Every structure is written in structure tokens, then in C-alpha cells.
Structure 1
Amino acid sequence: MDISTGVVLAAGEGTRLRPLTRTRPKPMLPAAGRPILEHVLDVLVDCGIERLCIVVGYRRERIQSHFGDDFRGVPITYVHQKTQLGSAHALEQAAPVVDGPVLVVNGDRVIGEPIVDDVRTAFDGTPTLAAIEHPTPSKYGAVEVSDGRLRSFYEKPAPSAGPFSHINAGVYAFDRAVFETIERMPRPSGELQLPTVVETLLENKAVHAVETAGLWVDATYPWDLLAVLRELLEAGAVAIEEREPQVWVADSARVHEAATLQPPVVVGPDAEVAAGAVVGPHVAVGRNVTVGANTTVRDSLLDSDSRADVGSILCDCVLSEAASVGPGVAVPGGPGDIRVGDDIFEQQRLGAVIADRATVGGGATVTDGALIGVGATVAAGVVLEANVADEAEVVR
């Protein structure tokens, strides 16, 4: 049964990625020089999807203004999930605007074309999902599959629950009957998630599960964005033409002849890399970014309009939109223990997150995976070892 419509669930904030998601939804966070959601739409269009429905919610204007009415000539319809009440509730919002069967994917997770193709090919009207091997199934929805059918489904099981090898990849195919199922289901907590719907469908009838493989990367916490970047660069999932093996430089970028680009690395449009700078490996330099002279950037993501000034050193760092670090700033990198809310995550590879419009003054040092909030200011010469709230100022 052919599927021509793709529904993309992109309404959530991604609270565990704060402060990066204070100003935009998780699907619009950068991944190898462009938003995560753009990678997702690329795959759907490459797989032959002819109509796109994007379910938007939190800071939806960031998505709608970026993509407009179509993507690569494929029309987009936007549906607003006014209150984030789960992934099944998000899909339910699309019911009035889609006809026939739908392919459903998450807009905040990069997936490979083979995964989508395999689900589309296997779909015969029976609910179908993609199952992929994963080293840590307990973080996601573990599944048991045999003979092309889903046998059991365990939503984020404890590691002791069993020897699982496959997870639910979050790529589904449904006919329109799924909307009737969602409408009938109880919602004691007010929310309804798609895995719960799949469990209900499994009780009542067969659910197909396609064992597949391909690129599948997810960011749950800020340091995961660096892991996503590494995966995408290694896979060559970059929209800019390759200048030399694993070195992608936009035509409008300016890279000084005395600068060094160490692969894999991508330099976006209108970016500038000055003389003596060493950039890479595993670095994405976004649109209109400035990398100053004699600056070193390694295993880092520099988002659009950000600036790393002369002689700075950034390792395992996320420099977000319009953020800047002054001359001689040092972010030596992880691993270290990172506090997110009330939780401490030990030995994570993250030097720092410097959120939108935040500034770090010249000669400062940032350690221990500090999360510097939106619009915050760290004065020159400060040694920072703790998180900084949005709009806060840290002085000597």
C-alpha cells in the first residue's frame, strides 16, 4: 500500500536540552550546519513522500518561518498542537488534514533513508514500525520481533528486565483507523504517547515490525548534540559540497590560506576562519560565524552568528546563536560531571554550552561542562566552574 503523506511530530520543546531550547524547539537545534528537522524532511522527500504535515507547538514560528509553505517543492501543511499532551495527541491533531495512510516520524531525531524506505515498503495496511539494534535499549522503547511481527513492547525498560537488542526507532506507518484508536483511548494523566497506542493495537491485532538499519541519532541532553554532530560528519550527512575528503566549505565562506581545517569539518555560508586558526576534527561552523586568528576549535558546534575571538580554545563546546567568546578564552573540554536541573551526570564529554546571545569575556576559563544561559554575561578573566542562569552576570 503506497504512502504519500508524511506526518512529522515537531511540537515539543526538549526541556532536558535547556538552555539551548529556551529560544527554539528541539527540532530546530543545529546538526552539522542545519536544523535537525531539515535532515528529517530531506529523508522523507528522498523516499518519495509527496505531502508533508508538520505538527508544531512550542515556538512554532521558528519552524514555520524557516521552512515556509514547501520543502524542496513538496507542500507543507502545519498543524498546531496548542498544548503538548504527548506524541499520540500530536498525531491526532493531523487527522483533519490528511487522507489515506500516513508515515509518522519524530522531527527531533535524525534518521537514515533506509529506515523510512523499509517501513514504506513493508506497509500493507497493518500498523508497522521500524525496529533497529541499539546498544542501550533501556533508554528507549525496547521491542521483541520475530517473523516480521512485533511480539512485545517495553517502554524504557529497566536494564535488568531482559536481554533486549532492538528498539522502537520511532518510524511508523498507519492507515486512518489509527485516529479512531487514538480517539477512543483513555488518558488518565491527560497525555497520550504513540508507544501506548502501539501497545493497544498489539493487544487487538497484529503489528508489523521491520528489522532495519541505518543512521539513527538522538539528542536528549546538551552533550548529545556533539555526539549527533560526530555521527553526521562521519556519515557525510552534510548539505554543502565537499572541498576535499570530509571537508565541506560553503562557496561564500572565507577560510584564510593560513588556517587549517582538520577533517571531518563543515564551514557554513558567510562564515570566516582567520589566519592561524585550527578548526576540527568534528566541528561544524555555522552561517556567518567568525573564528578569530590563532583560535583552536575541536569537537565543537558553533551555531549561526556566533564568534570565537582571537586565540581562544574551544573543545567539546556548543556555542549557540549569536553567542561570543572573547580573546584568549579557554574551554578545555570534558569529560566531567554536569548538573542538569537537580540531576548530576557523571563523566560526560562536554566542555561548555554557551547559549544564545551569551558572552564570555577575554581570558576567562570555563570548565566542568558549565551551562551558560541565554543572554548571560561572564566577565573577563573569570574562572567559571558552575552553571549560569539566563540573563545573569558573573564578575570576578
Structure 2
Amino acid sequence: MQTLILAAGQGTRMRPLTEQRPKPMLPVAGQPLVAHTATAAIDAGASRLVLVVGYEAEAVRSFFGSEFKDVPVDYAVQDQQRGTADAVRAGATKLDNKPFAVLNGDNLYDGESLAKLFDRGPSVGSYQVASPSAYGVLDIEDRQVTSVIEKPDTPPSNVINTGAYVFPAAAQGWLDVDSSERGELEVTDVLNRACEETAVTAVPLNRWLDVGRPWELLEANEWKLEECRRQINGEVHADAELRGPVIVESGATVDAGVVIEGPARLQAGATVGPNAYVRGATLLGPETTVGHSVEVKNSVLMEGATVGHLSYVGDSILGRDVNFGAGTTVANLRHDEAPITCPVKGELVSTGRRKFGVVCGDAVKTGINTSLNAGVVLPGGATTAPNETILKSAANRR
């Protein structure tokens, strides 16, 4: 199955983490998000990958090269991000005149379900949700999709479109669609055309995640770190204690008095301790530092991030080269235990999570004894003064 993976978007809902990198290249359990998409596709039977790139395209090209897991990789460029149908049209120039799959490069899929999707094409991946009105909803009769309806007030079902498709070869000629109400060229119009021209099967996905907002990046890491198996290749002090599925890559160091409760992954160059505590689904990226008497819980620290000493970081995402001053403390729970809210494109949105900490763009620096409230977002390059308390996000804080 020749497979298009859409990886050209700017990921504006994921800002500030995507200020300098494409969303599909954000880290999930030690690999870029899109690498998990590509791996699932290959496990399902993808014979060739075509990655549609645009924003910060070189990062994607550098990671994949011309081959990934023994499967050839080609690239197509979407110069302007005008919608998913436009992205597929860019990628179609690289396809043979055969059926083809389309996957979103910022989604996670289980390989077993994708194999069924590939086998039963023409098909669309489906998933049941409690509140379908926020999605494209599939109208289904006898397991055949008759149409997809975007964000209906009265949904015909609770089964939504996951953005995973297998189209017939003829669909390569159906990509000149009209702009939607939101001014984009939508691949769902191609799906509706396919429903008119042929039988399209709804294939339930066992597991699926659309990683569009920062807390969903945490959820993605939770999913993929749970799949890791214990592997110790780095240097671990005899007085450290590693519990459960912990990966310590070659070049990573765990000092004396450290306790790590998996699932956790320490990438090359990461250092922990002495006397630090790492727990929950935690990813410590390359060259990160978790120092003396620091606790990190259920968090992602990207390349070069440093939490030097006497600090607490919970349920948070720290971008590249973030530096937390001594005594920096992150709050991750409201007193009323209601879901934490977080700003997305200027609007407060519920994360749906009882516990959620902070999101820091690249090169954020905090002064000693800084307190950060739950749900705070700091843009890249932001700084705080010693003893400062940050209660609300500030997009222009520097």
C-alpha cells in the first residue's frame, strides 16, 4: 500500500512548542511523533511512504532520509497550507496509479487497526467518542459510509472520522475540490465523492489519538512510553534504584540516590541526580539535566532542558534549552480539582485533565524560587525574576 503521510502544517494550536519546528517532529517516547505514524503504517503493510512537507520541512527530511525501516521514502512539498485536500494533491504527484492510503502525521494509530484499514479499502478509520459534534461524524449504513458531516449539531452517530483513509486510484482525479466554509480544501470532500462512486467501509480503530494541543503530547508520550521495555545501556550508579520499564540509553547517566519509576526514557546525554526522583510517564530528551533533589513527574523535557536542583516539575512540557532556576515549583492541580484550562490560540480551553502543569517554549529561563501556576504557558525566550509567581499565561512575555 503506497501511503501519504501529511506533515506540512504549522501546528498553531501547539504553540509555543512549534515556534521553530513542525508539530510532527515533536518528541514522543524518544522519536518524532510522525515516526510513530510511519512505523504503524509500515507494520500495517505500507510499501512506500510519501511525506507531504511544508513548514520547517528540512527537519522531517533530515530524520527520514530516503528510507525508513527498509521502506523507501519520497517527499512532496505543500508550499501553502491550504487544507488537507491540497496536501493530498501535492502528494499525489508522487503516487503510482493505484489505491493509496492517507494518514495524518500528527496522529497516533495502532498498527493492527491500520492493517485492517489497508486490507478493506476503500475505507476510512472510525472511532467512537462521547461528544461527536466537535468532529467530522460518519453517517454509516450496514458498515458502509454514506457521508461525513463536519461538526453537526445533531450527529447521525457517535462514530467520527479519524483522518485515516484508503482511496481508490481514481480518487487521484477527485482532488480539485471547492473551498469549505473555513476557506480550506478538505479531503473530506474527496471522501464524500468516494462514497458516491464506490462502497467505502468504516474500519473501527482500536486506539487513536489526534495530537493537536500540548496536553495531547503528554497523552501521546503516556501511550508510547507504556509500550517500552526495560533497557539499561547507560551508566547507572550502584546506589540508584530503577523500578519497572525504564530505558537508559547509551551516554545517559543516573547518579547516586536517584529513584526512577517507569515508564521512563532517558536519551543519550541525559543526566539525573544525585538524589532525584523521576516518576510517571516521563521522557528526558538528549542532553537534559535533572539535578540534585529535583522531582519530575509525568513530563517531557526536550533536548538540552535543565532543571538543576531543588525543584518540582509535574505533568509539564519543557521545550529545548529551557533552564529552571533552583527552587522553581510547578503547580499541577486546582484546589477544586476541576480540569485545568490552558490557552490555545488566545482562548482558554479545558485540557480535560485533573492534573496538568506548564508548557514552556524553547529557551525559557526562570529565576530562583519561581512559582508557576497550573496551565501556564510561557513563550520561547521568556524569563522570570527570582521569587516571581506566574498565575496566568502571557503570550508576549520576554
**Could you say if the C-alpha distance between residues 135 and 316 of structure 1 is closer, same or farther in structure 2, counting changes exceeding 3 Å?**
same
Contact 1:114 1:212 in 2 (8 A): no
Paired residue for 2:16?
19
Give the match for residue 336 of structure 1. 340
Compared CA separation, residues 358 and 193, structure 1 to 2 (3 A): same
Q: In structure 2, what is the equivalent of residue 245 of structure 1?
A: 244
Partner of 1:385: 391
Q: Which residue of 1 aligns with 2:140?
A: 145
2:282 corresponding residue in structure 1: 283
TM-superposition CA deviations, 1:161-213 (whole Å, max 9, x none) = 14733211211111321121113x333665211112212332x2234223323
- Which residue does 2:159 correspond to in 1? 166
Are the counterparts in 2 of residues 351 and 369 from structure 1 also a CA contact under 8 Å?
yes
Q: Using the alignment, how far apart are the partners of 2:118 and 2:218 within structure 1? A: 30
Q: Which amino acid in the other structure matches residue 214 of structure 1?
A: N
Structure 1: runs of 5+ lacking an equivalent = none
Give the match for residue 62 of structure 2: 65
Matching residue of 1:130: 125
* 1:1-396 matches, cutoff 5 A: 3=1, 5-99=2-96, 100-123=98-121, 127-158=122-153, 161-162=154-155, 164-183=157-176, 185-187=177-179, 191-202=184-195, 204-234=196-226, 236=227, 238=228, 241=231, 245-334=244-333, 335-346=339-350, 349-389=355-395, 392-393=397-398
| Contact preservation (8 Å) 2:147, 2:191 | no
1:388 CA displacement: 3.3
* Counterpart secondary structure, 1:288: coil
* Offset, 1:98: 1.0
Unaligned runs of 5+ in 2: 233-241, 334-338
Contact 1:33 1:303 in 2 (8 A): no
Q: Which amino acid is the alignment partner of residue 362 of structure 1? A: I
Q: Residues of 1 paired with 2:180 and 2:149: CA distance?
A: 20
Q: Per-residue displacement from partner, 1:285-334 (whole Å, max 9, x unpaired)?
A: 11221111110011211111111111110012111111121111000213
Report the 3-state secondary structure (helix = DSSP H, G, I; strand = E; otherwise coil) of the residue aligned with 1:41.
helix
Note closer, same or farther for the CA distance 1:258–1:163 as it changes in structure 2 (3 Å cut).
farther
What is the Cα deviation at residue 229 of structure 1? Answer: 2.0
| Cα distance between partner residues in 1 of 2:200 and 2:37 | 23
CA contact (8 A) 2:133 2:155 kept: no
Among the aligned pairs, what percent are the same residue? 30
Q: What amino acid is the match of 2:215?
A: W
For 2:7 and 2:199, how far apart are their aligned partners in 1?
25
- TM-score, normalization: structure 1? 0.89
- Whether the aligned pair in 1 keeps the contact of 2:12 and 2:345 (CA below 8 Å) is no
1:244 positional shift: 6.2
- The aligned amino acid for 2:282 is V
Contact 2:180 2:186 in 1 (8 A): no
CA 1:13–1:207: 2 relative to 1, 3 Å: farther
User: What are the superposed Cα offsets for residues 5-41 of structure 1, whole Å, 9 maximum, x if unpaired?
Assistant: 1110011011111111111111111222221101111
Q: 1:172/1:375 Cα in 2 relative to 1: closer, same or farther (>3 Å)?
A: same
Cα distance change, pair 342–388 in 1 and its aligned pair in 2 (3 A):
closer
Report how far residue 248 of structure 1 moved: 2.4
Return the offset for 1:222. 1.7
Give the residue type in structure 1 aligned to 2:87. A
State the AA in 2 paired with 1:54.
Answer: L
What is the root-mean-square deviation of aligned Cα atoms in Å?
2.1
**1:150 and 1:206 in contact (8 A); partners too:** no
Which deviates more, 169-178 or 186-195?
186-195
Q: Distance in 2 between matches of 1:90 and 1:239?
A: 36
> What secondary structure sits across from 1:211 in the alignment?
strand
- Count residues with an aligned counterpart: 380
**Does the 8 Å contact 1:229/1:282 carry over to 2?**
yes
Partners of 1:153 and 1:210 in 2: CA distance: 11
Partners in 2 of 1:69 and 1:292 — Cα distance? Answer: 39
1:346/1:6 CA distance change after superposition, 3 Å: closer
Give the aligned residue type for 1:229: N
CA contact (8 A) 1:13 1:26 kept: yes
- Structure 1 pair 307/155, CA: closer, same or farther in 2 (3 Å)? same
Assess if the C-alpha contact under 8 Å between 2:44 and 2:114 holds in 1: yes
Contact 1:102 1:175 in 2 (8 A): yes
Please give the per-residue CA displacement for 1:210-267, whole angstroms capped at 9, x wherever unaligned: 3323331122222222222223233x1x498478633222233211242111122222
Q: How has the CA–CA distance of structure 1 residues 9 and 378 changed in structure 2, closer, same or farther, with 3 Å as cutoff?
A: same
Alpha-carbon distance between aligned partners in 1 of 2:322 and 2:155, rounded to the nearest angstrom: 45
CA distance in 2, matches of 1:148, 1:166: 11
The AA in structure 1 aligned to 2:107 is R
